[in-house]
Amino acid sequence: MKLVVALLLAAASNATAQTRVDHPDSARIVVSDVAIFWRAFDKLTPAMTRADSVRILDQEYLAQGSKGLQGYATTHLKKPDNLLMGLGMLPKYVAGVRANTLKISADDVRAALRKVETFYPDATYPDIYFVFAGFTSQGTVSKGNVVIAAEMVSADSLTPREELPPFLRSVDLTRNVLPCIMVHEMLHAQQNYPSDKSLLAQVIVEGVADFITQKAVGCVQTAAATYAYGEAHERELWQLFQQEMRGTDYSKWLYNGNIKDRPDQLGYWMGYQIAEAYYNRASNKQQAIRELLNIRDFDAVLTASGYASKFD
């Protein structure tokens, strides 16, 4: 079954030069980009022009890094200027996490991958890269690889936080969140879905990843405050979501770090509720997980979940 799943996922992906293996102990986990970043960082000086600083980051970090880093640079970072901007915004925080970023090792995530294998034996494992991402994303899938921002999983109780913008102050930036982010993004790399830009589809994409992460490793990547708010306002949120789920405006639900009147990323919570309801209704739980990772019709999943009937 694993070979079939791996072939389906490979055919569905538009990524190039990616690697997938069918056992967590064989997964490729690359941490070398972090040390390369700090070597480049140490060549920056306050007297340098912006152009010279950008050139060093480009030539000494991005160009010298792994294929995972280089892919991320094209899909998310876009240009070295964005990396320099991130460094300039949070200099105390950056200095404060340096030592911890250099302690990241493959062993930090291998145990979580083994838990995924136990919960979902059909899983396949993409390459995982730890990079300095300039605060552009805590974790994501880029060209079929999982990429984790080392600087956003390395804070501790001594890390200066006064520079953090409001939307980052509610985010867990410590090593504790690493398994949650890594497994969530790994599951995105497994999802085999048709193109559907609706809000309903996108919250299910995120919610399925959060739900299976919770089942496999006991946590989600989304902030606890988001889930607590969702539980306290479930009926109200469902009524609002029904009105908007056929559209493509994500601003009130997803990728919205500056929302004012409620916690951000409530779409993750909503998608989790739908995925959980679908799973709970299924007699064959492992088959339910396969189905949630290989959805062909998002409306059908919502109907089959019976989640809406909870409010009748």
Lowest mean pLDDT among 17-31, 114-128, 148-162, 193-207: 17-31
pLDDT digits (tens, 9 = 90+) for 90-121: 999 999 999 999 999 998 889 999 999 999 99
pLDDT digits (tens, 9 = 90+) for 265-279: 899 999 999 999 999
Q: Are 183 and 216 within 8 A, CB to CB?
A: yes
- Please, which pLDDT band fits residue 154 given cuts at 50, 70 and 90? very high
Per-residue pLDDT, 8: 34
Q: What is the pTM of this model?
A: 0.86
How far apart are the C-alpha atoms of 289 and 6, rounded to whole Å?
Answer: 15
Q: Which amino acid is at 7?
A: L
| pLDDT bracket for residue 6 (50, 70, 90) | very low
What does the mean pLDDT of the chain come to? 89
Tell me if 264 sits within 8 A of 257, measured CB to CB.
Answer: yes
- List the strands of the sheet with 139-142, edge to edge: 29-30, 128-131, 145-149, 139-142
**pLDDT in the model for residue 257:** 64
User: Do the Cβ atoms of 56 and 160 come closer than 8 Å?
Assistant: no
| Nearest CA among 252, 248, 119, 251 for reference residue 186 | 119
- pLDDT, position 108: 81
Q: Please compute the mean of the pLDDT values over residues 160-176 and round it to a whole number.
A: 88
Phi-psi region for residue 218, left (φ > 0), alpha (ψ -120 to 50) or beta? left
Could you tell me if 170 and 153 are in contact, meaning their C-beta atoms sit under 8 angstroms apart? no
Lowest mean per-residue pLDDT among 53-57, 66-70, 218-222: 218-222
What is residue 241's predicted lDDT score, i.e. its pLDDT? 96
Residue closest to 59 by CA, chosen among 89, 39, 29: 39
